[in-house]
Every structure is written in C-alpha cells, then in structure tokens.
Amino acid sequence: MALPSSPPLPPEVTEDIDIPSSPPLLPTSAALPALPNRKRPLPDYDNNISSDPLFSEDPSEAEDQTEYEQPKRKRMVKGPWWTLGRKSSQQSAPRPKEDFRNADSGVWLGSDESIDSLLNNARDLNVAERIPTSSIAVHPPPLSQGERVAVSAIAGCLEAGRDAVDLSALGLEQLSSETLKPLHQLILQSHSTLTEPPSEDEFVALTPSIKLFLARNQLRSLPAELFRLENVTVLSLRSNDLTELPYAIARLRNLKELNIAGNNIRWLPWELMRFLERQEDGRRIIVRPNPLIEPTRIEGPSPLSGLAIQTNNEDLSRWSDTKEYYEGLRRSCMEHGPLNIRAELELRLKYGRLLRIQYLQEASRAGREVSLGPEELIYLASSAIRWYHVDGKPLQKPRQDQDLHQATLNPLNDAPEISGSSFAPSLFELASRSVQKEFDLQDVPADIPSTVKLALGAAVRGLEVGNQTCSTCARAFITARAEWIEYWHSGSPSQTDLKQEDILPFLRKVCSWRCAVPTAAGEFRC
Amino acid sequence: MASTNPPTEYITLVSSDDYSFVIRRSAACISPAIKRMLDPANGFIESQTNTCRLDNINGLVLEKVCEYLYYNEKHKDAKDVADMDLPMELVLELLMAADYLNGMFCI
C-alpha cells in the first residue's frame, strides 16, 4: 500500500475473476492520454478477458471515435496537396504525440501553433528542395556563331512563310535538333494582298515543301530532328564532312532531290534504294563525287570485248531461255580462261539488262503501264557477308589481307551454321526492344556488361529516328546480325560498257542470319 | 542422375533459387552457352548430369527464358513471327540473361 502506482498490475494478473471492474476503465480513461498505449498492453488482456468490454459501451466509443478522428481529418486538409501522401505515410509516428498534446492541458496549446508553423516551414523547405530537382532546366551548350545565324535564318523563314531555308556556308560543325525543330511549324503565307481578290491558284494547301540547303558546312553528323521533317522535298548536304548517310533518310518520304556530293561517304544505306527505285516522279540524287568503295578495279578495255558476243533479243522470249543464254555466255567466256570479277560483273549487267527488256516487252504486250525511270538499276555483285553475334560482336575477326568490301562471287563463303539459326528474333533483341519501349534509357544501371551497354546505345539512337528495318524481311531491329555491301549499276540503259562511276554501293543489314540472302544475279529495278 | 552415354532428350536447368526446369535438349541448345556446357566433348560436369545450374538467373527469369527457347524452336522456319511478349518488369534482367546465355566466348 505504500506504493500507489505499482499495485494495479499484480492484481490484474493474480485475481483473474475480479477483472470486470477493469474494462470500464478503458473508456473512461478514454481521456486521450491513455490512447497511445492502449494498443501495446493488449497482449496482457489476452489471458482471460474477451473483447466484450470494447463492444459493450457503444455510445462512449462512438464519441470516442469522433473525438479521435476529427483532428485527423483536419490535419489531412492542411498543407499543399502534394505533401499529403507523404505526410500521411511518413508522419504517422508523430501524430499520436500531437494528439496527446492537444488533449492535455492548455499548456501545450500555445506551442502547438509554433509546431505547426515549424512543420509548415519544413514543408516549404521540402518543396524548395524538390522543385528544382524535378524541373531543372538543362541548359543547352552555347550555340556556335554559325548556329545562331541558322536559328535566326529559320526564324526569318517562319516569319515570312518561305519554304526555302538556306543554311549554307555558315561554317556549321554540328546542328542541333533544337535548331531545326521550329521548321515543323512552318506554313506558307496565305493570300496577303488584300486589295485584290485571291486568284484561283491561291486556293491550295499551305503545307510547305521545305527546301533545306546545308551545303558547304562542316557537318559530321545530321541531327535526328532532320528526319522528322516530313515536308522536306529538297535536301542539299553538298560539301560537308559526312562519313555516312543515316538509314533514317528513308523517312523523308516527300524528298525529291538529294545532294550528297563532296562528302566522305563510302556507301549508301540500303534504304536509299527505295528512293532510287522510283525516279519517275522527278526524283534526283547526286552522289558523286564521294570516295565510294568499288567492287573491283575497272580500267582498260572490257575483257569481254575480244569475244564475239551479240545479243539477239528476238530469240529471247522466255525467262528460262535468258538464264540458259547467260550460262552459255559464261561457259564460252570460261573457255578463254578463268573468269575474273570484272568479266562476271559485265556478264551480270548484260543478263540483268536482258531480263529487264524482256520484262518491259511482256508488260507492254499485256498492256500494263510501266513507269520508266531514266536510269536502270541492275544488281551486280555483293561483298562477303559479315556475320554478327546476337549482341553485335563480329563472328570472325576480319582478316587483314582481305578487302572487306571487294565484290566476291560467293558471298556466303564464310557462312556460319545458318540452318541452326531461327527466323525468330533473339531474346537479346526482344529484350532490348522492350527495354527501349518501357524504360528511360538515360539512366540504366552502371554495372551492366559492355555488350548490353552497346545494344542500349543503339536502342537510344533507334528511339530518336526509329529503328532500322531488315532489308530482307522489313522487320525492325536494333542489333544487326549480318551486313554486306551490294553493288548496283545505276546508269542509262543506252550505255553499253560498265563504268566505275555508274556503280553504287549499298550497305545492307539484316535482322537474322536466315535473312542474310544477297540479291540474285539478274535482279533489276526499272 | 546416372551418367548416360546417349544424350537424353530432356535436360534440366536450375535457377539460382533452386527452381528446376526440364526442357527439351534441342530447345536448350539454342543458347550457345548451354550447348557448350552440355557438349560431352568439352568435358563439363553438366554433360554428365544433364543439369545446368545457372547461378545468376533467378526462377522468374529462367521461366521466361525457357518459354523463349521453345518459342524460338517453334518458329525456327516461320517467317513473320510475332514478337514474344516479355513482362515489363523482367526485361532488363532478361537482357542480362540473354547476354549471358549467348556470351561466354571462352571455349
């Protein structure tokens, strides 16, 4: 009895039967101070008391609850909405404490406000911390002198509704996507002289046909934005330092004129084939001069010139005959010695031409309309195919003594076990494509293998301009499995001899080993 | 687990968390790494037990990998194959797994 505070516990444990007196204690001591620790002693009650005390006194409990909930609701409303979620989750610990103070005496009431204001301050601080991180403006690197001129030139065109954008000879070393972006908004000027009624031909669409001149700069690469400008019809990249024409050039569907003369381009993307195929609607491409790779040296008189070869079109009425004829030609040439690449190229050119003539004859007989371009496109030869692993590593190390790009008669020479491979995309490819779709590729984990990093790098580039499509099956891919050069003859049909400057090299890439099938001899495009 | 001289039709892949997947040998050998493990000429223990432990691939991912292996085998000669659906939350891990299963250039 000397100690008033300690006894309550022992009696509870020892005198189990007398306990009914204790339940009332709970609600009455509902005086909130007890609330926080109401939960913790719960296990103690377990031994005998069922839960009925809690349910027995409904009114007081309801009262209890309202009292309990009100401050909660009030607090929920406080503060800006974006801290709500955080507050309720993070500050659940301090809450009972505050309750405790509120319900206590007035002593704490004064300081309550101050705590609130403190909290507010903290929140403000939080906000101040958070806003900059989420919306930090990444300052672009300062523009070069030339690019600033370009920006103002583009702004001028936009203003005046001019669709000829002249950015030539500005000394541009690079061009950012941002600079070109305003060109999306370019529309032509509509009827402006209000003194006269508009003439008939003014009722046309205001869609511009942008003519973009980037000639005589030092561009090494082209911005991705350029390939999103669908209205570009004339693109001049003459006299720059480009080493490769990106495959994305195919995305400029309305392109009519392309000038890439005077760069360091060694081959054209296969995608440009489509551009060359349809020359009938006035499409023009100026490729040379460029250090284009060559199938083989072509100089001196043709090796076939010594042989009496005449083509008699009358005899050639069916495709199979042409094939026989071609084989016959080859055999007769072989008699004079082994066939070198150049002779083979010339034979194939003849063969392709024959097939083309036959095709045209047949079409005219059937009454079909064939749109003829001024130039013919005839397949000549391929280089050896370079094979890649799933992750883009080359299968074999290139041999030093071998010219990779030289035309060869059997490009599938070093082929790996193609039969074992599948048309289905590799898991690596599938996964990297999904990653490209779903994730922010800017912050990939740092500890990934270098091959994966390379693939993701390619995926980032693919994201900018669209993934490359397989030149055989037209499926999009990120990592090419094989690539090779194809040489096509592009010249006027009237010219009989094979000339170096009529041969265009195209780089073909495919999505699977099974797709790596070079064009067959005799292929042509009209 | 008796060592069998003629190669069995099915082999077992065991994930890092000890899930095992029994799949056809022909499908498993699409992966160059697994193929090398199982090749008796290389003398790895895997070729004796016909069981590959893949300690850096967990069960969830390995299940998808097995699904892919069958998908690949099934569509070997089919053109215009629809892409297999990969669950978004696994793609990064699958990418790593794919890299691992294709890699290992050391013979």
**Any idea what the CATH number is for the domain that residue B72 is in?**
3.30.710.10
φ, ψ for residue A21, nearest 5 deg: -70, -30
Contacts 24+ apart (CB under 8 A), A232-235: A233/A209, A233/A257, A234/A209, A234/A210, A234/A258, A235/A259
**Residue range of the domain that includes A15:** 9-128
Q: A382 and A479 in one domain? A: yes
Q: What is the pLDDT of residues A399-431, one digit of tens each?
A: 665 677 888 887 887 777 766 677 888 888 888
Q: Give dist(CA A407, CA B88) in Å, integer.
A: 44
Do residues A186 and A161 lie in contact, with contact meaning Cβ atoms separated by under 8 Å? yes
Distances, alpha carbon A284 to alpha carbons A225, A260, A276, in Å: 23, 11, 8
Which residues, 6 or more positions from A512, have their beta carbon under 8 angstroms from its beta carbon?
A421, A422, A423, A424, A425, A426, A470, A473, A481
Q: Helices B91-102 and A427-438 meet at what angle, rounded to 10?
A: 150
Q: Give dist(CA A411, CA A388) in Å, integer.
A: 15
Which of B68, B75, B103 lies closest to A427 in CB terms? B68
The band of A295, judged by pLDDT with boundaries at 50, 70 and 90, is confident
Q: Give dist(CA A479, CA A426) in Å, integer.
A: 10
Residue A478 falls within a domain, yes or no? yes
Residue B2 falls within a domain, yes or no? no
Do residues B68 and B84 lie in contact, with contact meaning Cβ atoms separated by under 8 Å? yes
Q: Give dist(CA A128, CA A119) in Å, integer.
A: 14
pLDDT at B59 over 90: yes
Residue B22 falls within a domain, yes or no? yes
Q: Give dist(CA A495, CA A196) in Å, integer.
A: 54
Show which of A98, A128, A158 is a domain's final residue: A128
Asked if the C-beta of A452 comes within 8 angstroms of chain B's C-beta atoms, the answer is: yes
Do B65 and A427 count as a contact with CB atoms less than 8 A apart?
Answer: yes
Q: Which of B34, B35, B92, B94 should be substituted to probe chain A, the one whose Cβ sees the most A Cβ atoms within 10 Å? A: B92
Chain B positions touching A389 (Cβ under 8 A) are 102
- Name B10's bridge partners: B24
Q: What is the pLDDT of residues A267-284, one digit of tens each?
A: 999 998 888 877 667 788
Asked if the C-beta of A447 comes within 8 angstroms of chain B's C-beta atoms, the answer is: no
Burial bucket for residue A93 (CB in 10 Å: 0-12, 13-18, 19+): exposed
Mapping DSSP to helix (H, G, I), strand (E, B) and coil, where does residue A371 land?
A: coil
Do A430 and B84 count as a contact with CB atoms less than 8 A apart?
Answer: yes
Which of A422, A428, A444 lies closest to B99 in CB terms? A428
Question: How confident is the prediction for chain A on average, in pLDDT?
Answer: 75
Q: What does the H/E/C string look like for A51-65?
A: CHHHHHCHHHHHHHH
Asked if the C-beta of A433 comes within 8 angstroms of chain B's C-beta atoms, the answer is: yes
- Per the structure, how many domains does chain A have? 3
> What is the reported pLDDT for A376?
83
**Among A298, A311, A383, which Cα is nearest to A353's?**
A311
Structure tokens belonging to residue A516? 């790596």
Q: A240 and A169 in one domain? A: yes
| CB-facing half-sphere around the CA of A125: CA atoms within 13 A | 6
Which of A423, A425, A452 lies closest to B99 in CB terms? A452
Question: How confident is the prediction for chain B on average, in pLDDT?
Answer: 84
| CB-facing half-sphere around the CA of A521: CA atoms within 13 A | 19
Residue A330 falls within a domain, yes or no? no
**Residue range of the domain that includes B85:** 10-102
- Per the structure, how many domains does chain B have? 1
Asked if the C-beta of A387 comes within 8 angstroms of chain B's C-beta atoms, the answer is: no
Q: A234 and A99 in one domain? A: no
* Strand runs labelled E in A99-180: 164-166
Q: Give dist(CA A303, CA A319) in Å, integer.
A: 26
Do residues A426 and B102 lie in contact, with contact meaning Cβ atoms separated by under 8 Å? yes
Q: A116 and A154 in one domain? A: no
**Among A288, A274, A306, A323, which Cα is nearest to A491's?**
A288
Which residues, 6 or more positions from A362, have their beta carbon under 8 angstroms from its beta carbon?
none
Which of B71, B72, B86 lies closest to A431 in CB terms? B86
Asked if the C-beta of A389 comes within 8 angstroms of chain B's C-beta atoms, the answer is: yes
Q: How far is A427 from chain B (nearest CA, A)?
A: 6
Q: A386 and A439 in one domain? A: yes
Mapping DSSP to helix (H, G, I), strand (E, B) and coil, where does residue A215 land?
A: coil
Domain CATH code at residue A233? 3.80.10.10
pLDDT at A146 over 80: yes
Q: pLDDT: is A328 or A175 the higher one?
A: A175
Do residues B44 and B5 lie in contact, with contact meaning Cβ atoms separated by under 8 Å? no
Asked if the C-beta of A428 comes within 8 angstroms of chain B's C-beta atoms, the answer is: yes
Show which of A242, A264, A286 is a domain's final residue: A286
Residue A274 falls within a domain, yes or no? yes
Chain B positions touching A459 (Cβ under 8 A) are none
Nearest CA in chain A to B90: A431
> What is the reported pLDDT for A138?
57
Share of chain A above pLDDT 70, in %: 66
Q: Which of B84, B95, B105 should be substituted to probe chain A, the one whose Cβ sees the most A Cβ atoms within 10 Å? A: B95
Chain A positions touching B26 (Cβ under 8 A) are none
Structure tokens belonging to residue A428? 């690596």
Asked if the C-beta of A448 comes within 8 angstroms of chain B's C-beta atoms, the answer is: yes
Residue A323 falls within a domain, yes or no? no
**Among B23, B97, B53, B13, which Cα is nearest to A451's?**
B97
Chain B positions touching A445 (Cβ under 8 A) are 92
Chain A positions touching B79 (Cβ under 8 A) are 423, 473
Which residues, 6 or more positions from B36, have their beta carbon under 8 angstroms from its beta carbon?
B42, B44, B104, B107
Do A422 and B96 count as a contact with CB atoms less than 8 A apart?
Answer: no
Which of A393, A435, A473 lies closest to B92 in CB terms? A435
Do B94 and A424 count as a contact with CB atoms less than 8 A apart?
Answer: no
Q: What is the pLDDT of residues A228-237, one digit of tens each?
A: 998 999 999 9
Do B77 and A423 count as a contact with CB atoms less than 8 A apart?
Answer: yes
The band of A117, judged by pLDDT with boundaries at 50, 70 and 90, is low
Q: What is the pLDDT of residues A40-76, one digit of tens each?
A: 555 544 455 555 555 544 455 545 555 555 555 555 5
Span A458-477, average pLDDT: 87
Q: Give dist(CA A241, CA A255) in Å, integer.
A: 21
Do residues A210 and A229 lie in contact, with contact meaning Cβ atoms separated by under 8 Å? yes
Q: How far is B40 from chain A (nearest CA, A)?
A: 19
- How many residues belong to chain B? 107
Residue B3 falls within a domain, yes or no? no
DSSP A223-280: -GGGGG-TTEEEEE--SS--S---GGGGG-TT--EEE-TTS----EETTHHHHHH--T
What was the ipTM of the complex prediction?
Answer: 0.89
Q: A380 and A255 in one domain? A: no
Do A426 and B92 count as a contact with CB atoms less than 8 A apart?
Answer: no
Q: A518 and A380 in one domain? A: yes
Distances, alpha carbon A120 to alpha carbons A76, A87, A113, in Å: 13, 12, 10
Chain B positions touching A475 (Cβ under 8 A) are 80
Q: What is the pLDDT of residues A75-111, one digit of tens each?
A: 555 666 666 555 444 444 444 444 444 445 555 554 4
Q: What is the pLDDT of residues B19-57, one digit of tens each?
A: 999 999 988 888 888 888 888 888 888 888 888 889 889
Which of B80, B95, B105 lies closest to A431 in CB terms? B95
Do A433 and B83 count as a contact with CB atoms less than 8 A apart?
Answer: yes
Chain A positions touching B83 (Cβ under 8 A) are 425, 430, 433
Asked if the C-beta of A70 comes within 8 angstroms of chain B's C-beta atoms, the answer is: no
Do residues A476 and A467 lie in contact, with contact meaning Cβ atoms separated by under 8 Å? yes
Do A428 and B72 count as a contact with CB atoms less than 8 A apart?
Answer: no
- Name A258's bridge partners: A235, A285
